[in-house]
Amino acid sequence: MKLLEKFREKYMSSNLFLAVLAGIIAVLLWLFISLTQYPSVQKTVYHIPVTTNITGSTASQNGLSVTSCDVEEVTVEILGSRTQIGYLTNETLTAYFDADNVSTVETKKLPLKIKSESGIKYEVKSISPSKATVVFDKMDTREFDVVPLTPNVQIVEGKVKNPDEYKCIPSRISITGPSTKLDMIDKCFAVSNKEMSLDTSYVLSGAELKLYTKENAAIDLEKSALEISTSTFDINIAVRTQKKVGLTASIAYAPENFNKDTIKFRLSTDSVTLACNNSQVEIPDVLDVGLIPLYEIRSGFSRTFSIEKRLENTELINVSDLESVVVTIDDTDLEEIPMTISSDHIQISNLPDNVYDYSIITPQIDVTIIGSAESLAEITAEDIFGEVNLLNTTITEEQFNQGVIFSCPSFDDVWIATNAKVTIERTKAEKTTSSTSRLP
């Protein structure tokens, strides 16, 4: 009792003590009124992230993904218990949208909702923004060819880029992304703006990938949501020699005395462009398209020669659009006359053996003599000679046919056109024997 009286006299009579006590009572009274009369309060939570995870939804089950959402975070007004709502923050709350009503590729404006894994009960009063524009698409992976582009690379005179070896490394890429975005891609370029002049092959590093639509509009890779298998490209620039080459045709089986200038060939084109990847191979100034046997040339002659066939087994490449050349003759100053040549004027050369004798049994051949009018006016059958060459001829029968090459030694501006053959007979050669007498 005395102790209580001393305490009352010492402290309760103090103004400071009374002030502190009054404050404590006020707080307790405020807490009592708040908890009993106002148990729920409202709270604003800022920067709540919006999730685009739609796992388990109808959209996901139909192979769709969210490729774009125009809202990244929201502000929410929530109402809840005064004693629990304080634990709700932008780390315990998540904004989301419902994708159960989406089954096709489309863009939809969907209401945003709030959820929490904390277990705290609350009421959402408002969400700002309240809706999001969401793009649903199917993710796909496709392959595209990459084309090199080097606008500032120059090739020195006499050299050109080899189009077959002008390519990117890698030359094909995989791109993953929304199908609607992939549908937009029409061209893929590996672009290098480096400036250089080349006279030999070169590998250019550090090319940048650029994508374009069919309308040649550039696609912004950073905003396209596309994943590309590689972003590093080299460009192989193969350089080869190239030259414009004249064309000509040659005459075969002409006698030594024949003046080949007598025949004037006309070619359907006078040049072709050739290239060569081997810098050690020299490209000729003139390309001979083929040999024409003299005995086949006559008035109205025409023959087509393939450029590609002519270049077989060579390192030369035809880089022009020319595939073939037509060769004709200028027969303006030429005339033709028929003539019959006796087999007496035909000889056999290069006999294959000395076991057989060979003789021509065809009595005569009709031929056509072609040349200038002056020479044809003077020529006779006595001026024409023929040769049957048996070199490399395989003979299996006693009689066989063989072609004849005619010449006219007395005239250098006429030739004989014929495809006629003579029949040759072979017979066993008679052996020469000598007798030897015996002494008794």
d(CA 166, CA 181): 29
Rg of the chain over Cα atoms, rounded to whole angstroms, equals 51
Cα dihedral: 116, 121, 124, 130 (round 10): 10
| Element of type H or E holding 4 | helix 2-7
Residue 14's alpha-carbon distances to 19, 26, 27, 223, in angstroms, are 9, 19, 21, 73
The single residue listed with the structure tokens 């030369």 is: 316
Residue 161's alpha-carbon distances to 155, 276, 370, in angstroms, are 7, 11, 49
How big is the CA angle at 351 (ends 349 and 354), to the nearest 5 degrees?
A: 145
Residue 435 has a pLDDT of 40
Burial of 43 from C-beta contacts in 10 A (0-12 / 13-18 / 19+): middle
Q: Could you tell me if 175 and 218 are in contact, meaning their C-beta atoms sit under 8 angstroms apart? A: no
Tell me, what DSSP letter sits at residue 319? -
d(CA 251, CA 260): 7
Residue 83 has a pLDDT of 78
| Element of type H or E holding 40 | strand 40-49
Residue ranges of the chain with per-residue pLDDT less than 50: 433-440
Query: Which of 114, 138, 144 has its CA nearest to residue 126?
Result: 114
d(CA 157, CA 239): 11
DSSP assignments along 162-230, one per residue: -TTT-EEES-EEEEEEEHHHHHH--EEEEE----EEESS-EEEEEEEEEEE-TT-PEE-GGGTT-EES-
d(CA 235, CA 97): 47
Q: Which two tokens stand for residue 412?
A: 């250098």
Residue 118 has a pLDDT of 86
Residue 158 has a pLDDT of 85
d(CA 340, CA 162): 58
pTM for the complete prediction?
A: 0.58
Task: Report pLDDT digits (tens) over 353-404.
Answer: 888 999 999 999 999 999 999 999 999 999 999 999 999 898 989 999 999 9
Residue 429 has a pLDDT of 86
Residue 279 has a pLDDT of 80
Task: Report pLDDT digits (tens) over 283-335.
Answer: 999 999 999 999 999 989 999 999 999 999 999 999 998 999 999 999 998 99
